[in-house]
Structure 1
Amino acid sequence: MSNKYVTPFVKWAGGKRQLLDRISERIPQNYNKYFEPFIGGGAVLFELQPEQAVINDINASLINTYRIIQKNPQEFIEYIHKLDSGMLENGKEYYYYLREHYNDKLMKEEFDIELAALFVFINKHCYNGLYRVNGKGLFNVPYNNSKKESIDAESILHVSEYLKKVDILQGDFEEACCDAKKGDFIFFDSPYAPLNPSSFESYTKEGFDVESHERLSRLFDELTKRGCYCMLTNHNTEFINKLYGNKGYRIDVVSVKRMINSDASKRTGEEVIIYNY
C-alpha cells in the first residue's frame, strides 16, 4: 500500500506527474528490483514506492538533496524553515542573494545540508521550477515572485523514511543499470529530445546530445536482451521514433500539457511511452 505522504519535494522540467496514470497502467504486474537512471523529481518512484529501488541522476546537487533527506531529514527541515523565514522582507533581493550563495557553494563542491536546503528553496522560488545552468555550470533561473513555504515538513519525513530502502547513485545512466537483471524494471525519463531537431539543450552543463540518445537506445536494447522490463518516455519526434521503431517495442502516443513553455499556444503536445513487454 502506497504512502500518500511520499511525494516529490521539487518541481522538475519534464516531470511525470501528469502522466502518472498512463504510466502506472503500463507498469509490469510483477518485477524484481526497480531502477530509475534519470530520477529528476521522482514522481514515478514515489507513486510506485517499490520495495527495492536504485535511483540515479547526473545532477550532483539533486542527488545530494536526495541523500540529505534520506539521512538527515530533521536538520534539512530546520534549515529550510530558516531560509523561508528570510522571505518576509524583500523576496526578490533575498532570492538573488541566496542564488549567488548557492552557486558559490556549487563551484566549491560543498555538497552538504545547506546546499540541499538552498537547492530546494531555489527550486520552489525560481521561474517554473526550471533547473538550468549556464556554460560555467552556474544556476541562472530568475525569481518567480513567490513567498510560499518551500516544503511540507510531514511529507519530507515520510519521504526520508521511504528513501532509507533506496540505493541512491550519482553518475552516468549506463553505469546506474550495471546490476540490472532479468525480471528487473527500468524506467527511463531522460532529458527530452528537442522538438526542433536542430537544437539540443539540457538541464546540466554536461549535456545530453544526439550521441547520448543513441547510447541510451543501445542500452534499452541491451537490457531487453537481458530480460529486463524497460519503459521510456520522450517527445513524439521523428528522431525518437527512428531510434526505437521497428524493434518490436510498443510505442504509445499520449497527449500532454507543457506548462513550462512561455508561449501558451505551444503548451499542448505529444509524448511517447515506449516499452518492451
Structure 2
Amino acid sequence: MMSKLPRPFLKWAGGKSRILPQYVPYFPKSFKAYYEPFLGGGSVFFHLQPQRAVLRDINAELINAYCCVQKNVSKLIELLQQHAVNHNQEYYYEIRSRQFSSNLERAARFIYLNKTCYNGLYRENSRGQFNVPIGRYKNPTICPEQLLIAAAEHLQNAQIEVGNFDLVLTEAAADDLVYFDPPYHPISATSNFTAYSRSAFGEAEQIKLRDTFSKLAYQGVKVMLSNSDCDFIRELYKDFAIVPIAANRAINSQANKRGKISELLIVSY
C-alpha cells in the first residue's frame, strides 16, 4: 500500500521513508490541519496526505524547490531534463558554483545537486554556499518525472513558506497535528552535524523546541517529534511518550559503520 502513495522527490539525509512503517501505529486516527516546520524530504506529509497543510523550513532553496513543484512542475521538469543530459563531474561543479536568478532555475539547480551530490546531504559554508562534493553514482535519477508530478498534485492545498519552527505556536489549534523533524542532537563527536544551513542547531535550540512542543501539547495540539536516542533528548521529553525507532545510519564515510541505530519518536497524545 505504501509504495502506491506519493513519495518524496528529494533525497534527504535523515529522511523518514524507510522507517515510516514504524511510525504508522503512532499517527493520530484523525486531525484537522497539519504542520511540518522542518520540511526536509517531506516523507510524513506525503504519507499522510492531509487536506490542509502548512509546510515550512529555514532553508530558502528547499522551500523554493517545493513552491516551483507546486506551481510550475512541467517547466521544472524541462530544466531538470537539460541537467540530466549534461551531467558529469565537471558539469556538477560548474552548476554548484553558479547562482541563478529565476526561481525555476534555482529549483532545478537545487534538485539536480540533490540527486547527484554525496548522500543527498545539504550543507552550506559560512557564506551560505552549497559545498557538498559530487556523489559516486553511475546513473543517478536526476529528473524523477512521475514523482514530481505526483508531488505537485498533493502540494496544491499546502501553504509553503520559509520560517522558523516556533511560528507554529501562533497558528496550530486543538486537534491539529504538528510533526517536528529537527536536526538531530549529536550522539558523538563524529555525528555532530547540525549545520544544515548557516544557522547551527545546538542545545539551546533543542530546549526551545522542547518548550514549543510542551506549549502546543498543553493547548491540545497533537505533537510528534523525531530525534536521536540519547540521554539529553530523553531527559528533555521525559514527560511525554518516548518510542525507540530502529533506523539505518546513512551518513558515514566508512561503510562498516553504517547500520541500525536507535532513534526516538516522541508523541504528546
Residues 240, 263 of structure 1: alpha-carbon distance in 2 compared, 3 angstrom cutoff = same
What's the offset of the Cα at 1:18?
1.7
| Contact 1:92/1:145, CA 8 A, preserved across alignment | no
Q: Does residue 204 in structure 1 map to residue 201 in structure 2?
A: no
- SS of equivalent residue, structure 1 residue 134: coil
Equivalent position of 1:58 in the other structure: 58
Q: Check 1:2–1:28 CA distance in 2 against 1; reply closer, same or farther (3 A cut).
A: same
Name the SS for the 1:10 alignment partner. Answer: coil
Is the 1:2–1:48 Cα contact (8 Å) retained in structure 2? no
- Report the Cα distance in structure 1 between the residues aligned to 2:95 and 2:83, rounded to whole angstroms: 9
Distance 1:66 1:187 in 2: 18
The whole-number CA distance in structure 2 between the counterparts of 1:224 and 1:210 is: 21
CA 266–178 in structure 1, closer or farther in 2 if over 3 Å, else same: farther
Match of 1:36 in 2: 36
Q: 1:171 aligns with which of 163, 169, 175?
A: 163
Q: How far apart in 2 are the matches of 1:203 and 1:111?
A: 23
Structure 2: any 5+ residue segments left out of the alignment?
A: none
Deviations, residues 25-58 of structure 1 (Å, cap 9, x unaligned): 1001011111111010001111111111111000
2:185 aligned residue: 193
SS at match of 1:271: strand
Aligned residue pairs: how many?
A: 266
Structure 2 residue corresponding to 1:135, chosen from 93, 103, 126: 126
What is the match of residue 17 of structure 1?
Answer: 17
The verdict on how the C-alpha distance between 1:166 and 1:3 changes in structure 2, with shifts beyond 3 A counting, is farther
Taking the aligned partners of 1:16 and 1:30, their CA distance within structure 2 comes to 21
Structure 2 contact 181–225 (Cα < 8 Å) conserved: yes
CA RMSD in angstroms comes to 1.8
| Equivalent residue number for residue 225 of structure 2 | 232
Question: Matched residues in 2 for 1:235 and 1:5: separation?
Answer: 27
Aligned residue type for 1:221: S
| Alpha-carbon contact 2:13-2:250 (below 8 Å) kept | no
Report the TM-score when normalising by structure 1.
0.91
Question: 1:100 — aligned with what?
Answer: 97
- Per-residue CA deviations over 1:152-188 (Å, capped at 9, x if unaligned) read 2122112111101111121111114421000001111
Q: TM-score, normalised by structure 2?
A: 0.94
Distance 1:16 1:2, change over 3 A: closer
The C-alpha deviation readout for 1:43-79, integer Å capped at 9, x for no partner, is 1111111111111000000000000000001110001
Match of 1:255 among 246, 259, 265: 246
Structure 1 residues 231 and 5: alpha-carbon distance in aligned structure 2, compared to 1, 3 A threshold: closer
- For the structure 1 residues 157 and 224, does the alpha-carbon distance in structure 2 shift closer, same or farther, using more than 3 Å as the test? same
Please, which of 102, 114, 119 is the counterpart of residue 105 of structure 2?
Answer: 114
1:200–1:209 contact (8 Å) kept in structure 2: no
Residue identity (%): 38
List alignment gaps of at least 5 residues for structure 1.
none
What amino acid maps onto 2:164 in structure 1? D
Residue type at the aligned position of 2:13: A
